[in-house]
Amino acid sequence: MEIIAILLCISIIFLTLLWYYPLLKKHKKSQCFTKPKLPPGSMGWPYIGETPQLYSQDPNVFFASKQKRYGEIFKTHILGYPCVMLTSPEAARFVLVTHAHLFKPTYPKSKEKLIGPSALFFHQGNYHTQIRKLVQTSLSPETIRKLIPDIETEVKSCLESWVSDEKVINSFHEMKKFAFNIGIISLFGHLDNNYREKLKENYNIVDKGYNSFPTRIPGAAYTKALSARKRIREIISEIIVCKRKEQRLMEKDLLGHLLNYKDEKGQMLRDDQIADNVIGVLFAAQDTTASVLTWILKYLHDDQKLLEAVKSEQTAIYEANKRGKIPLTWGQTRNMPITYKVILESLRMASIISFTFREAVVDVEYKGYLIPKGWKVMPLFRNIHHNPEFYPAPQNFDPSRFENAPKPNTFMPFGNGVHSCPGNQLAKLNMLILIHHLVTQFRWEVVGYESGIQYSPFPVPLHGLPARFWRNEQTQEMLG
């Protein structure tokens, strides 16, 4: 009887396992092979994807309509690449900060050739960390505060050149000249005029070809840009030779920091690495700063009550400095609360950097969706900056919204994480100083009533905001 009972138990156990086995196998198989799905969205036409839709309308409309239809994460295919676009602060932080190692910076090869493959924003890892540290040190508050007299000199020169009863200037183009000159000062210190003019001439050619079709046809804008870029490299090499020969290698500017750098093995940077990073900083600084300054001109012009508040704040400083006879101090630039909020709101409204490109280096799962290896990933800063959940009535220009700090990861005009812009403090200082001299000594009028936005590639007011400038009557009397 005991043997029969044992055999009966074994049979029951066997039959039970036999019944459960297919279920266990199916469950195990589902665990092993079920992958997260791709985000919702449309990939458009074969090869060209949705690039025509992106460029045939305001890009903001394209991104906003996608978000409204698909939610905070969606897929598309633009500029020849499959992409995943992200529109939430949490997603931006995931890609740029907490899981940045899973996403590498990526740029089209045509643009990389014009800037230079050794520029820091093309890299990750130790090289990026070391070069970024050099750039941050050369653009730290302790360093840029010493540039205030040079920035003031440049601001006054620019404003004087804009003044005329008849002359209508393209505000954006003039702001680009100003931003370029400040970039030269922060990179090289006081540079010989001959070198400055050569750099400016060739940089303008590179700038025109940067967003052109990348063809090698003789005479094409991109071909000219490649040649000009080669000349810039040669000019920078000449400057390096002069600095070394004259032993002017003090770490007062970025070039000095780059020339003096040695890694843990005692290796110095090659001249081509130095040139690539110098050109990279010029590219990063010029159009972005110029675009924001152009928008500030428009926003202040369109809101006379706000302009008067800024003017009152700046006039108090101007009078304390004996009507501009005493230079601005670092402390004064840190105590311009109304003006500073205008700058922050301009950065939010304009969202010059609308998005950034990354590339997934492995398959990544985010909120149940798959971001495949090799796909481009685009955190959309503009969508976050214009989300009414974070900024009520986002289309209204309202500096008072910055009386309280924005919620974390909802304000990223300079990016976020290890690849955020290291020159953001210098950019803000330039804006504060220019606004100070502009509103205390000059007045301006926007020419024409046609409003709109053009992309070149950053958003700027239509036609570059044509404007006329005059000296204030009081300033004119003092000069007279």
The answer for 463, left when phi > 0, alpha when psi is -120 to 50, beta otherwise, is left
| Phi, psi torsion values for 461, nearest 5 degrees | -55, 150
Quickly count: other Cβ atoms within 10 Å of residue 261's Cβ: 17
Asked whether 450 and 280 are in contact (CB, 8 A), the reply is no
Euclidean distance between CA atoms 379 and 96, whole angstroms:
8
**Structure token pair of residue 76:** 């598309």
Euclidean distance between CA atoms 457 and 208, whole angstroms:
11
Give the position of tokens 């899981």.
99
Euclidean distance between CA atoms 199 and 106, whole angstroms:
27
Does the annotation place 421 within a ligand binding site?
Answer: yes
| Phi, psi torsion values for 375, nearest 5 degrees | -75, 145
Annotated binding site for heme: 421
Annotated binding site: 421
